[in-house]
Structure 1
Amino acid sequence: MSIELQDISLIYNKGTTLERVVLDKVSMTITQGKFAALIGNNGAGKSTLAKVIAGEVIVNEGKVIIGNQDCTNIRDFDRAKFISRVFQDPGKGTARNLTVLENLIFASRRDLKRTLVLFLKKDPRAFFKKKLQELNAGLEDKLDEPVFMLSGGQRQILSLLMAVLRPSKILLLDEHTAALDPEAAKLVMRFTHHLLRNHNMTTIMITHDMSELDYCDEVYAITNCKIKKMHKNF
């Protein structure tokens, strides 16, 4: 699915003495399957823009078009059918007290009745073990391990795999490597690139790490409430 923002504006406390413009007539188009990075200073509005796309925040003006659908006033719980998100906190995208296998089962049955009973009758263990072996992240032998016992990098890799298992067309990555040490961050970015290349999801990644831009097709910068497409060799 493509993402198109048409002159969107977001103003907090509009018409009051506390009025604050966060996004000012922002327009951008990410075509199907592109991997775009979003950069900018802290507080520039990067995460807010991701929330606008996800439907967590509704804009004051403009349109949010996803695919061929006007989603401007559609809330996040309805957009979740086609949008997946991975957050900075490695624990936010997983259920920490469930096992790796249980998390994967829930993710794969996102739009179906969330129960383990029927799915376990089909024994998905072999399927998910093969998927994890392909990633070579050391998770294939941890299917029965509670997620809270994984490293931060492993949890983010699991979150990414869960995101692409869902019937989503769009992936939003909100500084998904920022809480990791440098080596784990590099590992997660390699897996991010590998998974997106194979699943053709339209992706927007918020990042402060300029080295991660090498993985992206396009780079956009937010400054002074505006957005600008950048050259990758800037």
Structure 2
Amino acid sequence: MKQTCLITGASGDIGAAIAEKMAARGFSLYLHYYKNEKGIKKTANICRTFGVNVQIVNADLSEKNSVNHLVNQITEPIDVLIHNSGSSYYGLLTDMTDKEIEKSIQLHLTSPIQLTKALLPPMIRKQNGAIIVISSIWGLTGASCEVIYSAVKGGLNSFVKALAKELGPTTIRVNAVAPGAIKTNMLSSFSEKEMEQLEEDIPMGRLGTPAEVANAVSFLSSNEASYINGQILSVNGAWYC
């Protein structure tokens, strides 16, 4: 039976890796993006080589009412919902504007909650489905100069735990993956020396890869994880464990 997966933020490194992994498993895909049109088209073309149906959807999830715009582009029930959209802000809390704080909360917390609420009814009717949130190590430990990012990721972790309990009787599973330092464009501003120091701080001595995050997401969305619910799975090489 054909299953359909929606991945938000599918144009980035981690989102693209997740999309390719789900396509390889035979899922029809809705791939969401906001600005990176070149990236999303590349990812969509790769996914289509697996013989699956791929549709691209667009929305700025940092804006209010954007979820309605996204949902209106989806024409079939979603079996697996993967919340991956996000951006980081590095700087002091006192240097953030109220608008930046508001947009970060909308993007990382409010929109995922609203999108989940909108897409849940068909899952509940079928008594089946999986919801996976891409959280962060900072949602577990907190990070200086990434205070709001840490706060919203921590909020998502609590959302996962609470919703898993609420949906438990329906067999819909809700989990999160909390990556540590992953080799993506988000680290492109780091100098070579800073990267070396970062790798030295990680017990495994290296950064993770988007594929390793995608593997964890794929597992949590599969029947092999049928009794795993309400969990935050850390993928961080024993960094801050």
Q: TM-score, normalised by structure 2?
A: 0.33
Larger helix share, 1 or 2: 2
Larger Rg: 1
Q: TM-score, normalised by structure 1?
A: 0.34
Larger strand share, 1 or 2: 1
